[in-house]
């Protein structure tokens, strides 16, 4: 069996310190399913319901949220929308059974992972929203500011108008 086949579905390596002690609020009916995140250095604050998760969000500092879509009484989409109202800067990774979600649900989340994607993909997605996506947002903001400054001063980014 090739090394690729042996590692298929597994990251080549996981650096224990990679999470950088980030704290995740995990709003999930069975938080034990998220143990890979804890094993890779994330501190987990868990809630089994949406209302409990919202209460914890207001009392504990967190870096990101892992939110189950089907929570019961308070649906994950409603919880995500409420989170974005009070703390829009916190990334939300939604964990769903499938990709068939309403457009309204997708507006409130930063990333979507299906259960069939597996725990390693969830881990990689959390890592992405905490480490890669913020850099892209910052670079995008800087590009937008530069473009606005160019428009205000009447300059053009075209080669012939320098």
pLDDT surpassing 90 at residue 141: no
pLDDT surpassing 80 at residue 86: yes
pLDDT of residue 68: 92
pLDDT of residue 9: 41
Q: pLDDT, tens digit, for every residue of 50-68? A: 999 999 999 999 999 999 9
Of residues 98 and 147, more confidently modeled: 98
Give the separation between CA 45 and CA 115, rounded to whole angstroms: 20
Residue 38 in any domain: the answer is: yes
Sequence-ordered strand ranges (E) for the chain? 23-27, 43-47, 64-68, 92-96, 111-114
Q: Rounded mean pLDDT of 2-25?
A: 50
Residues 114-137, buried b or exposed e (16+ Cβ, 10 A)? beeeebeebbebbbbbbeeeeeee
Closest by CA to 126, choosing from 59, 63, 61, is: 63
Range of the domain at 84: 3-153
Residue 21 in any domain: the answer is: yes
CA dihedral 88, 57, 107, 78 (to 10 degrees): -140
pLDDT surpassing 70 at residue 138: no
Of residues 5 and 93, more confidently modeled: 93
Taking a C-beta distance cutoff of 8 angstroms, is the pair 41, 125 a contact? no
Residue 118 in any domain: the answer is: yes
CATH number at residue 15: 3.40.50.2300
Give how many domains the chain has, as a whole number: 1
pLDDT of residue 156: 47
Residue 160 in any domain: the answer is: no
Confidence of residue 22 (pLDDT cuts 50, 70, 90): very high
Residue 108 in any domain: the answer is: yes
Residue 115 in any domain: the answer is: yes
Residue 161 in any domain: the answer is: no
Residue 44 in any domain: the answer is: yes
């Amino acid at each position: 069996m090739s090394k690729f086949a042996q590692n298929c579905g597994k990251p080549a390596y996981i650096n224990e310190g990679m999470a950088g002690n980030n704290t995740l609020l995990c709003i999930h009916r069975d938080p034990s399913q998220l143990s890979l995140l804890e094993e890779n250095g994330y501190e987990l604050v868990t809630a089994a319901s949406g209302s409990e998760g919202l209460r914890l969000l207001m009392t504990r500092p967190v870096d990101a949220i892992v939110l189950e879509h089907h929570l019961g009484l308070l649906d994950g989409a409603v919880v995500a929308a409420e989170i974005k109202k009070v703390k829009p800067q916190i990334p939300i990774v939604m964990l769903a059974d499938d990709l068939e979600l309403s457009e309204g649900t997708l507006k409130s989340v930063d990333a979507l992972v299906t259960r069939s994607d597996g725990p390693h993909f969830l881990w990689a997605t959390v890592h992405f929203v905490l480490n890669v996506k913020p850099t892209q947002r910052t670079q995008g903001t800087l590009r937008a500011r530069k473009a606005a400054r160019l428009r205000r001063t009447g300059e053009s980014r075209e080669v012939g108008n320098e």
